């Protein structure tokens, strides 16, 4: 029996169907609302509005639950394998050994950039923002590769996905090398995904960077934990651009631009800047908390709060634990980790944060872990993008294979001037 809700509009009572999700989430289907009542709904940041059905990621924000294709995120933590998770997010199930091997081969076969694209880096200023380089260069992949417009068949889609997921790593590493005036280090086909990225970042000619298992695992974990997060700002951007049937490169390049924002993926940079300021005595943790609570102050406690999580972000828990593990293995202390812990404790015991259910999110500890690997702060959001790319690709594909998908085109409530005549210049 289809569940419905009644809506009374003037002297009209209409019934609207209720959609029920796998975990019992319920949504009022308003797709016929305007036809039936002439009215629209109003939900500016879409905080109460579902824009799609999706089978990829489930989040229970109240309980702090995150699952990829039904698998709790914690179950990837002991043996994080980003390539395996990427394939699973895109194709809907864990890959069989031969499927994973094939996808890994495709990643290796597509790790190089076209030399023409590589030469574009020669004209990029050394201090160019890496996220600007990343979004531009992802878009420019369509100079050298056919525009991927729709997932006609799995094979061509798998190649398009491998091309993007492999080359994003090379683009990121090349932008880092460019920023330091260092020679580009080409990808090594004998290295696994994360090891190859770190090799391209940190090897120097005739002195190969050798990754330790702990660092390789930690980077796999960072990428796995960033791989998808349902309809966040950047994923919604990818879906919006993709709904116009723009190609996959352009859609993901748009996602990079949205992710760059300090309220979104750019927060991992802001967190480190905030912790550094405390470390250098610029401000105390108490000053931070005070500033974050001061409505007249634009300062926010970066790495805290979330539109969906009203509990501890499960990714933050895993990243925090990995920080401890990696720093212990490296026999290194990071004062910023101690400061982060103090800040977390102060915030979690402050009524302002407790009342608003503000907890650490994925960005609060990720930067400390990336620092431990030697990755510079200005590359943190790029690393977030490398991790999130499979999620964007999976969501883009899911939208394209859904025959009911239409171009995303929200409505508005117009509050501008009523009809008024044009006034010639001489009469103004
Ligand atoms: C990511 O959506 C996703 O899934 C994103 C992400 C993903 O994986 O894709 O999880 C990745 O973007 C994580 C979030 C990273 N951003 C930050 O850490 C920036 C700091 N956080 C905030 O700016 C904020 O919490 C947001 C942007 C994350 C969420 O903003 P919302 O949902 O619009 O919440 P809000 O601004 O309406 O805040 C509600 C209240 C407000 O106070 P009141 O008006 O009720 O008095 O909480 C306050 C806010 O002022 N608040 C904060 C705060 N976050 C919310 N106050 C101080 N510091 C903060 N960090």
Give one DSSP letter per residue of 101-157, joined into a string.
Answer: HHHHHHHHHT-SPPHHHHHHGGGS-TTS-HHHHHHHHHHHHHHHS-------SHHHH
- Exposed, middle or buried by CB within 10 Å (0-12, 13-18, 19+), for 102? middle
pLDDT digits over 9-49, tens only? Answer: 999 999 999 999 999 999 999 999 999 999 999 999 999 99
Confidence of residue 155 (pLDDT cuts 50, 70, 90): confident
CA–CA–CA angle 63, 68, 73 (5° rounding) = 60
Is 306 a residue of the active site? yes
pTM (predicted TM-score): 0.96
Cβ atoms of 140 and 167 closer than 8 Å: no
The pLDDT value recorded for residue 150 is 75
The closest alpha carbon to 362, from 308, 277, 304, 288, belongs to: 304
Distance CA 157, CA 161 (A): 6
List, for residues 159-172, the tens digit of each pLDDT value.
999 999 999 999 99
Dihedral class, residue 70 (left if φ above 0, else alpha if ψ from -120 to 50, else beta): left
Residue 364 CA: nearest ligand 1 atom is: 18
Lowest mean pLDDT among 87-91, 145-149, 180-184, 240-244: 145-149
Give dist(CA 131, CA 128) in Å, integer: 9
Is 336's pLDDT higher than 80?
A: yes
- Asked whether the predicted pLDDT for residue 280 surpasses 90, the reply is yes
104-130 pLDDT, tens digit per residue, is: 999 999 999 999 999 999 999 999 999
The band of 153, judged by pLDDT with boundaries at 50, 70 and 90, is confident
Alpha carbon nearest to ligand 1 atom 48, residue: 356
Res 147: pLDDT = 75
Q: What angle do CA 206, 210, 214 make, to 5 degrees?
A: 170
Q: Ligand 1 centroid vs 139 CA: distance in angstroms?
A: 29
Q: Helix crossing, 380-401 with 248-259: angle to 10°? A: 140
Annotated catalytic residue: which of 217, 306, 313, 400?
306
Mean pLDDT for the stretch of residues 184-190: 97
């Amino acid at each position: 029996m289809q569940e419905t809700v009644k809506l009374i509009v003037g002297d009209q009572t209409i019934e609207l169907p209720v959609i029920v999700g796998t975990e019992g989430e319920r949504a009022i289907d308003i797709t016929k609302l305007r036809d039936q009542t002439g009215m629209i709904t109003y939900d500016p940041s879409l905080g109460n509005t579902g824009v799609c059905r999706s089978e990829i990621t489930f989040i229970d924000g109240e309980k702090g639950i995150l699952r990829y294709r039904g698998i709790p995120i914690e179950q990837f933590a002991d043996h994080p394998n980003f390539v395996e998770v990427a394939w699973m997010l895109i194709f809907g199930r864990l890959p069989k050994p031969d499927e994973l091997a094939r996808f890994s081969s495709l990643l290796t076969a597509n790790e190089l950039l076209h030399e023409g694209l590589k030469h574009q880096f020669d004209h990029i200023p050394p201090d160019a923002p890496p996220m600007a380089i990343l979004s531009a260069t992802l878009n420019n992949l369509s100079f050298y590769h056919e525009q991927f417009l729709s997932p006609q068949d799995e094979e061509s889609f798998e190649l398009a996905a491998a091309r993007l997921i492999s080359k994003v790593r090379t683009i990121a590493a090349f932008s880092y090398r460019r920023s330091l005036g260092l020679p580009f280090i080409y990808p090594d086909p004998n290295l696994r995904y994360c090891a190859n990225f770190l090799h391209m970042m940190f090897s120097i000619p005739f002195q190969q960077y050798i990754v330790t298992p702990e660092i390789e695992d930690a980077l796999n974990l960072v990428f796995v934990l960033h791989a998808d997060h349902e309809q966040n700002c950047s994923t919604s951007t990818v879906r919006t651009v993709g709904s116009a049937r723009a190609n996959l490169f352009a859609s993901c390049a748009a996602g990079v631009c949205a992710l760059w924002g300090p309220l979104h993926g750019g927060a991992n940079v802001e967190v480190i800047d905030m912790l550094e300021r405390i470390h250098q005595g610029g401000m105390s943790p108490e000053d931070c908390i005070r500033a974050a609570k001061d409505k007249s102050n634009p300062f926010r406690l970066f790495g805290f709060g979330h539109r969906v999580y009203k509990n501890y972000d499960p990714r933050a828990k895993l990243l925090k634990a990995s920080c401890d593990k990696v720093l212990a293995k490296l026999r290194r202390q990071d004062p910023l980790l101690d400061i982060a812990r103090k800040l977390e404790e102060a915030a979690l015991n402050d009524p302002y944060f407790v009342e608003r259910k503000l907890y650490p999110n994925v960005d609060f500890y990720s930067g400390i872990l990336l620092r431990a690997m030697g990755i510079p702060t200005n590359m943190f959001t790029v690393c977030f993008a490398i991790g999130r790319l499979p999620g964007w690709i999976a969501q883009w594909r899911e939208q394209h294979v859904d025959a009911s998908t239409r171009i995303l085109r929200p409505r508005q409530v117009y509050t501008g001037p009523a009809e008024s005549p044009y006034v010639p210049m001489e009469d103004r």
